[in-house]
Amino acid sequence: MSDSTSPLDLTFLGSGNAFGAEGRAFSSFVVNNRYLFDCGPTLLQQMRKADIQSNDIDVILISHFHADHFFGLPFFFLDAWRNQREKELTIAGPAGIEERVDGLLKLGYSMIPGKLKFHVRYIEVTDGLEAEAAGLQFTASTVVHVPELMCYAYRGQIGGRSIVYSGDSTLCDGLIRLIPGADVVVLECSCGHEPVHLAPSDIAEIKSHTSPGARVIVTHLDGHARSGDFDDLLVAQDLARFCL
């Protein structure tokens, strides 16, 4: 059980960008073995390596509908079906999340939806929404990434500890407003000058808004980091675990 002094236990299933830079798996991490932040299509391989079971996951937060963050869900459902999952699963994400998941399942494993033995609770997030699921209190905040999608950052509260996840984002007010007071901040970062992602200079700006003692982890990496880009930051690797 977590309490106000329990560390947050983060396992990075993947730490790469949409192009699989450096052979990294798609960006995704699990907190306290229960809360999955994003769900790329390398999900199951990485869960096997990390010895995390789909039945242990209570909540999945989806930041946006780009495939590197979202297309792992059919595999999650496939595994849950084989494991005869019975406990409720909560999936939170942008408007249309339930229809998107249903569509992916119909495309990928059309026999599954009628056979599942568990209830899926969907939460459509909006800017500033506050919700609770399986001991995770969270809020969503609209961030600027690409114009064709609604994209969200999340701030989660587990016991007395808090974590912010940028999703994919540029430097924007929606992300910065979540930062003060957070214990752990997980930020995507591109060092290759991609305008729809955070650059190292943006990370430095965001870090200036953190509270004393906060830890910043960069992920969703593109293989273009230069010496000094990640000074004073924690850098995610596939299967890296941080207890913070």
Q: Which residues bind Zn ion (CB under 5 A)?
A: 18, 66, 68, 168
Residue 48: CA atoms inside 13 Å, Cβ hemisphere, count? 7
Residue among 34 and 66 whose Cβ is closer to Zn ion: 66
Q: What is the Cβ-side half-sphere exposure of residue 232, based on CA atoms within 13 angstroms?
A: 8
Nearest residue (CB) to Zn ion, 100 versus 161? 100
CB of 223 to Zn ion, least distance (A): 14
Structure tokens at 239: 């299967």
**Please, what is the minimum distance in Å from the beta carbon of residue 197 to Zn ion?**
8
CA 166/CA 143 separation, integer angstroms: 8
Q: In this complex, which beta carbon is closest to Zn ion, that of residue 26 or of residue 75?
A: 26
Report in angstroms how near the CB of residue 74 gets to Zn ion at its nearest. 18
Residue closer to Zn ion (CB basis): 81 or 165: 165
Both tokens of residue 162?
């808090």
**Least spacing, CB of residue 43 vs Zn ion, in Å:** 14
C-alpha closest to that of 62 among 45, 37, 87: 37
- Six token digits for residue 237: 């690797």
Name the residue nearer to Zn ion (CB basis): 36 or 158: 36
Toward Zn ion, which CB reaches closer, 58 or 168? 168
Q: How far is the CB of 115 from Zn ion (least distance, A)?
A: 31
CB of 128 to Zn ion, least distance (A): 21
For 61-95, give one letter per residue: b (16+ CB within 10 A) or e. bbbbbbebbbbbbbbbbbbbbeeebeeebbbbbbe
Measured from the Cβ of residue 194, the count of other Cβ atoms closer than 10 Å reads 13
Count of H-run helices and E-run strands, the chain: 6, 14
